[in-house]
Amino acid sequence: MDKRSMVAFVWSVTTVLTIFAFTTALIWVGKVHTTYKYWKNYYNGDDWYQAADAYYNYDNSEDEDGGSEDERYRDQIRNSYQLLSSFSAKSITFVAVYTMGLATALSMYGSLVIVGFTSLRGVYIAPCFSIGSNKLRVGIFGGMIVMFANMLLVCAVVLGEVKVCV
């Protein structure tokens, strides 16, 4: 296997892993949203609290506000799951869509113009739109990949600090 075939193989694996990562992220988003919707519907009624009340035998005494501690607790649980089920952040959604679009564009550009493909049988397929060996184009593409990796690192650090507080 020559150097060009090896680079094309690594690029093909990277493209497949990118598709896998986006698919996994979309599945997780759907699962989390569905779970929060389920918990919102579950806590809408009082059935869940009756079992907990009987088990823990809470003191349901009135305070100066006229409401019991149990009622405030039930309202807090209901409100928190209603907020979580309807939570959406436009900025995080924009970052996700922008990152997905940029990764797709870089993947397609790298496969179709710069690097080429590796077939499932391991055969190297030259880039479709290559005009020849242009070291400047390859260098610019390498710079774009490095900048994209740095952008992903910064996004991971910034979005890792996002907390949902209810």
Tell me what pLDDT residue 8 has: 86
Report yes or no on 99 lying in a domain: yes
Report yes or no on 87 lying in a domain: yes
Tell me what pLDDT residue 24 has: 93
- Report the C-alpha gap between 115 and 78 in whole angstroms: 54
Tell me what pLDDT residue 93 has: 80
Tell me what pLDDT residue 37 has: 77
What phi and psi values does residue 68 have, to the nearest 5 degrees?
-85, 165
Which structural domain range is residue 27 located in? 3-160
Report yes or no on 39 lying in a domain: yes
Tell me what pLDDT residue 147 has: 93
Contact status, residue 83 vs residue 166, Cβ threshold 8 Å: yes
Contact status, residue 125 vs residue 15, Cβ threshold 8 Å: no
Report yes or no on 58 lying in a domain: yes
Report yes or no on 165 lying in a domain: no
Tell me what pLDDT residue 36 has: 76
Residues in the chain with pLDDT < 70? 1, 43, 45-68, 70, 84-88, 132-133, 162-166
Tell me what pLDDT residue 132 has: 67
Report yes or no on 166 lying in a domain: no
Report yes or no on 139 lying in a domain: yes
Tell me what pLDDT residue 124 has: 86
Tell me what pLDDT residue 48 has: 56
Tell me what pLDDT residue 1 has: 67
| Its pTM surpasses 0.75 | no
Number of domains in the chain: 1
Report yes or no on 11 lying in a domain: yes
- Report the C-alpha gap between 117 and 29 in whole angstroms: 31
